[in-house]
Structure 1
């Protein structure tokens, strides 16, 4: 009986030991403001990101996804992830700042501990002119986003439905 107990305890210890992999329980960026280095432009690709202490959610919109449309109309544009646009989740070893994305030469710190690209999803952009028709407001949301880690684990606890709003100027 004593040998059985030792083997059982040793088995529990071996099974419960971490192999050093990061365990991602949830990805929550709904309450975080969207940022960009430069003012977003229609008819070009745009890099938008959200920072949450030591995490980031990076959206690379395909060229033309921010479609200005016509003043008075609301238009909806869709962009597939990963085929047309790219959505990436990163975990850093320390707090990350806007400088990490916007400096010509990225800082050496913080270090990326893990990077996961979305394997499926849809970027939905609703565009309409503001009240005085001087700019277009693009409301960006995400639908059906699926992240899969290198070990094949699917991250399902996502709070990233509303990515945010960006504005572009109405052309002269």
Structure 2
């Protein structure tokens, strides 16, 4: 009997001990929003008296979708930090972002990640016009997951094979598309262009689409976008003002510099990437109305569409 009692006592003592690796404490921030500091490279989540903090360079969040099965991977280190904090009162953004944080609440405990990786899967956030079908990229969603992460605690360590941090959204640069309906054409290359002070939409149009002949009613000339004939390119510029002198050169001028370049996907006859030209005559001039249908632009792994129909503009020619 004494042996049985002694064995039970031993088991009780063994199960009561905490060597730091046996006790798992849950960290749950799944239903809390991700916030960011404007003055440093910290994004974080707050919940009552707890904070989950991620400090990595802002450049880690690239506005470019990742391919399926190929997340961006960053090693956790002294510069790429993951920290879990406990406070003695309700925590706020000021406790995370301020150079000199408020005196209260006080940090009562802190777990520092000692190893593992930060995996980021990025996708474009799009808004679709219900009427035209046109899509705009409004931002990029970065889903962050910690893999094989180990936290160092006061009483040992705690490890997770997969630990979801959550989503962090960055803002996309707005593509204005603020063009008027008058386009110009280069005399030698016959390239057509429309522009504002900061953007341009160029079309290396098939010469057969621009003829000084009136098109029959509801029978426009049609072609499809290609890589050379009917090549369509959208460019956004910085460091300068775009003027007519920029166009029709053998090589593109250095300034203003191109900040983004989007190239239209090759079209499929009667399906997508269609160029339509309707020609009418006004006095001694011909007006060629150019319409783009179901056009998709791509840049890297990003894409957007111009919708079902987009009026590129009117080109005026004479005999």
- Length-normalised TM-score, structure 2: 0.42
2:279 is aligned, of 120, 127, 130, to: 127
Question: Which residue does the alignment assign to 1:88?
Answer: 233
Question: Which residue does the alignment assign to 1:19?
Answer: 62
The alpha carbon displacement at 1:135 in A equals 2.7
Question: Which residue does the alignment assign to 1:65?
Answer: 209
The alpha carbon displacement at 1:157 in A equals 6.2
1:52 is aligned, of 188, 196, 200, to: 196
Question: Which residue does the alignment assign to 2:74?
Answer: none
Q: Indicate if the aligned counterparts of 1:28 and 1:158 stay in contact, CA closer than 8 A.
A: no
Q: Indicate if the aligned counterparts of 1:25 and 1:157 stay in contact, CA closer than 8 A.
A: no
C-alpha distance in structure 2 between counterparts of 1:62 and 1:139, whole Å? 14
Q: Indicate if the aligned counterparts of 1:118 and 1:146 stay in contact, CA closer than 8 A.
A: yes
C-alpha distance in structure 2 between counterparts of 1:159 and 1:29, whole Å? 18
C-alpha distance in structure 2 between counterparts of 1:33 and 1:18, whole Å? 39
> Residues 101-132 of structure 1, C-alpha deviation per residue, up to 9 Å, x if partnerless?
135665321112221110141111001222x3
* Cα gap change, 1:144 to 1:29, in 2 (>3 Å): farther
Tell which deviates more after alignment, 49-58 or 101-110: 101-110
What SS does structure 1 have at the residue aligned with 2:54? helix
C-alpha distance in structure 1 between counterparts of 2:306 and 2:277, whole Å? 23
What SS does structure 1 have at the residue aligned with 2:247? helix
C-alpha distance in structure 1 between counterparts of 2:60 and 2:184, whole Å? 39
Q: Indicate if the aligned counterparts of 2:286 and 2:317 stay in contact, CA closer than 8 A.
A: yes
What SS does structure 2 have at the residue aligned with 1:96? coil
* Cα gap change, 1:27 to 1:146, in 2 (>3 Å): farther
The alpha carbon displacement at 1:81 in A equals 0.9
Question: Which residue does the alignment assign to 1:164?
Answer: 313
The structure number with the bigger radius of gyration is: 2
The alpha carbon displacement at 1:68 in A equals 2.4
**Root-mean-square deviation (Å):** 3.6
2:177 is aligned, of 17, 28, 33, to: 28
Q: Indicate if the aligned counterparts of 1:135 and 1:168 stay in contact, CA closer than 8 A.
A: yes
C-alpha distance in structure 2 between counterparts of 1:29 and 1:156, whole Å? 16
The alpha carbon displacement at 1:98 in A equals 1.1
* Structure 1 runs not aligned, ≥5 long: 39-43
Tell which deviates more after alignment, 26-35 or 49-58: 26-35
What SS does structure 2 have at the residue aligned with 1:9? strand
Runs of 4+ in 1 over 6 A off after TM superposition: 3-7, 157-160
Q: Indicate if the aligned counterparts of 1:56 and 1:89 stay in contact, CA closer than 8 A.
A: yes
1:77 is aligned, of 214, 221, 231, to: 221
Query: Higher relative CO (CA 8 A, sep ≥ 6), structure 1 or 2?
Result: 1
2:260 counterpart of 1:114: yes
- Length-normalised TM-score, structure 1: 0.71
